[in-house]
Amino acid sequence: MTTLQLTKQPFSLKAFELIKFASSICLIAISAQLSIYLPNNPVPVIWYMNVLFLYAAIKGAKQGALFTMSYLGLAAVGFPLLANGACGPLHFLGPTTGYLIGMIPASFVTGYLMEKGFSKSALYSFFAFVVGNSFVYFTGVPHLAQFVGMKQALYLGIVPFIPGFIFKNLVCTYFYQRLHR
């Protein structure tokens, strides 16, 4: 046997995993371009965060959190993966930093709850997405408050996002239930 024959199967499995990883990054990068800035608000309405949580729900807590860290790491080193193509280390020093960092525990929690049985029904899945997604606000709002004060952070960082929060979690639940069958 040649070396190629000895390593053919493991290489192809690793290559396939790498292709799935890169494809997922591309899907999330595309969804990041679907963002809307509300008037007088530094925090955009985004879709990519929910795509990250959907990935975590499907792949599990550990892989979801690692994937989210990889995604944010790529954005930090200059890949234009965040809302409206934002990237670079300076983007992680602004008013939205807490929201970005909160995506890591949010992905983990979403994946963990799905692993623990919250995937069994649409209602439980919705609850898992809501709980996981809430971690973004637990870290995002206090960080935003450093720039605008707590009262204004609550007004800018939570209130305008409540309808979208519910809608996007319903969409995630719908797709998760369809993909998880």
pLDDT digits over 1-21, tens only? 555 555 555 556 678 888 888
pLDDT digits over 29-86, tens only? 888 888 888 888 777 888 888 999 999 999 999 999 999 999 999 999 999 998 888 8
Burial 48-76 (b: 16+ CB within 10 A, else e): bbbbbbbbbbbbbbebbbbbbeebbebbb
Rg (CA), the chain: 18
Report the alpha-carbon distance of residue 86 to residue 33 in Å, rounded.
Answer: 10
CATH number at residue 89: 1.10.1760.20
Number of domains in the chain: 1
In a domain, 30, yes or no: yes
Q: What does the block give as tokens for 6?
A: 């000895």
In a domain, 8, yes or no: no
Report the alpha-carbon distance of residue 117 to residue 82 in Å, rounded.
Answer: 31
Mean of all residue pLDDT scores within the chain = 89
Q: Which class for 147: exposed (0-12), middle (13-18), buried (19 or more C-beta within 10 A)?
A: middle
pTM to 2 decimals? Answer: 0.86
pLDDT digits over 144-173, tens only? 999 999 999 999 999 988 998 999 999 999
Domain that holds residue 120: 15-34+44-180
pLDDT for res 42? 78
In a domain, 1, yes or no: no
